[in-house]
Structure 1
Amino acid sequence: MASEAVLKYLVDTNRPYSCADVTVNLRGAFPKSAIQKALDALSEAGKIKCKLYGKQKVYAAIQVDTVTEESDKTDYDALFKTLTQELADKTNALKTVEINLKNLTSTPTTDSAKTAINEIKNRTEATEKKLEILKTSTEVVSVEEKKIIMTEHEKLLKEYRKRKRICSDMLDAVLEGYPKSKKTLIEELCIETDEMVNFKLMTNS
């Protein structure tokens, strides 16, 4: 029966446990509802002690020649503080793991990154070939075509500056709580700046 198993476990371990603890430590031999019913019955029968800490009930066997009630109360208080601190520590550790997991899942995989790089390289090569053809071409671009090109260039230029500013703001925000230098952060994030790749911006002026 659940009552016999619960009583034996509490006597053998001689430690206070909650209903959830007893259920887990008995390795699912009985459902939690049966464990709770057994604990309440044993407590009412005076075979075990029940202490209430907030909404949490803690049970312990009544041992022969145990310490005085006052000392027993002190031990319960110390245990409760220890368990509370352990819970806080594990909660903080869980938050850290969840943040790391979120960062990892938001990072592109190696295959997707390689695919994106290849696409960019192909577009770059095509653009360079087109530029080379335009440089050697004797065809004259009309005023209207030139205006369209310049307008599109200005639009892309504004978007580039906007995104660069957003990126810079994000880095500055991270650096507020980052213990190392900006250079180290950029290296860890595998970011390439304009200066690192010798990129020079062409303006319409």
Structure 2
Amino acid sequence: VVVSSKFPSPISLCSLPSSSSPKFFPRISSSSTARQSAMAPKSDSPEAIVLKFVNQQNRPLNSQIVADSLQKDNLKKTAVQKALDTLVDTGKISFKEYGKQKIYIARQDQFEIPNAEELAQIKDDNAMLQQKLGEQKKATAEVEAEIKALKSNLTLDEIRVEEAVLKKEVKEMEEKLLKMRGGAALVKPEERKAVAEMFNDRLSQWRKRKRMFKDLWDAITENSPKDLKEFKEELGIEYDEDVGVSLQSFSDLQQPANKRLRSK
């Protein structure tokens, strides 16, 4: 729940941990009241900075937390501790002792406590703000999505570069097509021969390995009681036909190629 700074939530000092017998120094005696009416510390003094921080936080704090939070104000821990002690002595803040640990807290009597009607109004305001926040998040997400889509598009310069590359490719393809239509040889005889020899070598290796596997498989499964199909699946073995290839179909391609090579 978002609570207006006009009505900060009161903090019960009794809710602090009680691992040891706390000593509470509320500083609300008549002498303390007189000290509270004394002149407030200068706004740029360590006491004023620490007091402002403690009141803004309105929660239990120790000197280390205060010192860490006020490093941006160039206040060292010794200065913070001195300011806290001064504020306690002048009755501007309260504290509890837990053994050697001191817990400081803003005086609760300086805050206005909202009544039931004001709390209800705060809840309504909070609900309205939450709704507006949701709408803003949705609008932000839509804008971010639009920006992402725009970034994925090519810039004008990138389009021009891409156009030049494509035009070059089209020109090269058109020139190649003209040569093919004119009957020009696009592959040199020595290149064709090298490709054919490599193709024949790969087919020979294929036949050799296929034969080696068959001999080995027959020897293993000759006296096996297992179903051969299930055994093959169990071992993860795939035949050429299982993956949609055929040695014979490639061998058929080899014959015309060899004839052309011999004719050359």
- Range of TM-score over shorter length: 0.3 to 0.5
Whose Rg is larger?
2
TM-score, with length taken from structure 2? 0.32
TM-score, with length taken from structure 1? 0.40
Higher RCO (CA-CA < 8 Å; seq separation 6+): 2
